Amino acid sequence: MIWEILEAAIFPGALFILAVSLFYEWIDRKFYARLQNRVGPHLAGPFGILQPIADLIKLLSKENIVPAAADRFFFTFTPIMAPTLILLACMFLPIAGLRGLISFEGDLIVLIALLSIYTIIVYLAGEGSNNRLASIGATRAALQLIGYEIPLTLALLSAAISAGSLSVAGVLEAQIERGIWFIAGPQVIGFAIFVVAAQAEMERVPFDIPEAEQEIVAGWEVEYTGARLALFRLSKDLELFLLSGLGATVFLGGSAGPVISGLEPLLHAVYFILKSAVVLLIFSIVRAVFARLRIDQVISFSWRWLMPLAIILIILTEVLA
C-alpha cells in the first residue's frame, strides 16, 4: 500500500509527471526558438532549463485579482480543476512499465472523456470571467476543441480497433506482440490526424485562435493573474506531456523496448520520454512552420477534411483487421 502511494505521488506519479512536463516546455521553447533563429530560454539554469520553473514561481508570487463582475465560483474552481483533470489523465499512460498507474479495459475512453471535460472547464473559465474578450475566446475554444476532439478520438479508436483493445496498455501490448509500431502501417494516417488534432486541442499555432493576442488580448485567460494563471499554464504543460505521451504510446510503442533485469522501470521511463519527446518535436515543427489560421478556416478544416479522413481510416482499419 505504501509503495503504491509512493508510485502515485513520486515515480512515475505526480511529481515525476510535473517535472517532465516542465522539462518538455523547455524543449518546446528552445527548439521552437532555434527554428526561428532565436536563442530561447538561456538565463535560468544551464541553457535556460530552469526557465519554466522560474516562470511558474514568478506567477505564483503575483497578485491574484478577481474582477468585480466575475463569477467567483467558476473563477476559483476552473483553475484548480484544469491541471487536476489533465494530471489524472496522465496516470493512464504506461510510463515506467507496460501499464499505467490506472489501467483497465476501456481506460482509453475514460482518458478521452477527461479531455472532453477539460474543454468544458476552458469554456467555463472564459465565461466565468464575465469579460467580452474572454467570452469570445471561450466560444472560440469550445468550437475548436469540440471540432478537433472528434477526429482525435477517431484516430485513437482506429489504433484501438487495430489492437483489439480499448485500453492504453492493450494498444501498447499489441504493438509488442506484432513486433512493429502502428505508425509503420496504415495507422500512419491516424498519427497524422492525431498530430493535427492534438495541436488544435492544445491551442497551439496555427490553432491559437482562442488566445489570439493580436485580436482578443489573451482570449479566455485574459482576466486570470497570479496563482490562477500559473495553474492554467501548468495545465498546458501537463496537456503537452499527456498528448505527446499518448501519441508515443499508441503509435510509437511507448515505453516498450529492450530491458535489463532490475532496471525495468528506469529503462521503460527512458523509452517513454525519448519517444514522447519525438512527438513533442513534431508538435514544435508544426507550430514553427505554419501561421495562425482564421476561426472559420480552423472549423472548416476539421469538419470538411480531417473528420472524413478519420472516418475513412476507421473503415480501412475495420476491413484490414
Q: What is the pLDDT of residue 214?
A: 67
Among residues 234, 202, 201, 246, the alpha carbon closest in space to that of 95 is found at 246
Residue 146 confidence (pLDDT): 86
Burial bucket for residue 250 (CB in 10 Å: 0-12, 13-18, 19+):
buried
- What helix, strand, coil percent values describe the chain, rounded to 5? 75, 0, 25
pLDDT the model gives residue 204? 87
Selection from 125, 94, 308 nearest residue 210 by Cα: 125
Are 116 and 75 in contact by the 8 Å Cβ rule? The answer is: no
| Confidence band of 185 (pLDDT split at 50, 70, 90) | confident
Residues 85, 220: Cα–Cα separation, whole Å: 18
- The answer to whether residues 317 and 163 touch, using CB atoms and an 8 Å cutoff, is no
Instruction: Give the pLDDT confidence of 53-112 residue by residue, as tens digits.
Output: 999 999 988 888 888 888 889 989 999 999 999 999 999 999 998 999 999 999 999 999
3-state secondary structure of 62: coil
Per-residue pLDDT tens digits for 239-291: 999 999 999 999 999 999 998 888 899 999 999 999 999 999 999 999 998 88
- What three-state secondary structure class fits 292? coil
Mean pLDDT, all residues of the chain: 91
- The helix (run of H) or strand (run of E) holding residue 177 is helix 168-178
The answer to whether the predicted template modeling score (pTM) of the entire model surpasses 0.75 is: yes
Peptide bond into 12 cis (omega under 30): yes
Q: Is the peptide bond before 206 cis (omega within 30 degrees of 0)?
A: yes
Residue 171: count of CB within 10 angstroms of its CB: 26
